């Protein structure tokens, strides 16, 4: 079985869930870097109404830049809740990210895409 998200992403998702713990402190964008320090760059919120719009926005993302969708965006695009453990929606998002050459991670109820 191949997993689509790293164990650190899963731990971050679990830690952010109200049942299991509180999300770590974040910057104004609600994002933390891998080192645990607050990120200082502006991160773009992608408001995509569907899968094709998300593909287009990620393709336009400049190399090295990060953008995100919220849990509500995820639900609108995939018709699934972000807190579901292993879903078709996560596979779909992972495939879109891979096609756009983006790394993905989940933090604070958001899916972040960083263009490679």
Residue 112 pLDDT > 50, yes or no?
yes
8-12, 23-27, 84-88 — most confident range: 84-88
pLDDT, tens only, 42-101: 799 999 999 999 999 999 999 999 999 999 999 999 888 887 666 788 899 999 999 999
pLDDT the model gives residue 1: 42
pLDDT the model gives residue 88: 85
Which residue, 104, 78, 98, is CA-closest to 8? 104
Whether 79 is in a domain gets the answer yes
Structure-token pair, residue 1: 């079985």
Whether 57 is in a domain gets the answer yes
Question: Could you tell me the pTM of the whole model?
Answer: 0.64
DSSP string, 67-92: EEEEHHHHHHHHSS-TT-SS-HHHHH
Name the domain count of the chain: 1
Whether 89 is in a domain gets the answer yes
Whether 84 is in a domain gets the answer yes
Whether 2 is in a domain gets the answer no
* SS3 label, residue 59: helix
Whether 32 is in a domain gets the answer yes
Range of the domain at 100: 7-115
pLDDT, tens only, 27-59: 455 555 444 444 546 799 999 999 999 999 999
pLDDT the model gives residue 82: 85
């Amino acid at each position: 079985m191949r997993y689509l998200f790293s164990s650190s992403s899963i731990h971050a998702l679990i830690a952010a869930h109200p049942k299991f713990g509180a999300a770590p402190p974040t910057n104004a964008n609600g994002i933390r870097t891998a080192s645990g320090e607050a990120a200082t760059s502006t991160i773009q919120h992608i408001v995509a109404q569907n899968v094709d719009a998300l593909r287009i926005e990620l393709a336009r993302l400049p190399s090295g830049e990060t953008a995100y969708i919220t849990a509500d965006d995820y639900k609108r695009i995939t018709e699934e809740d972000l807190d579901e453990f292993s879903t078709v929606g996560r596979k779909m998002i992972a495939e879109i990210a891979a096609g756009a050459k983006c790394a993905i991670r989940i933090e604070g109820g958001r899916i972040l895409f960083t263009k490679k």
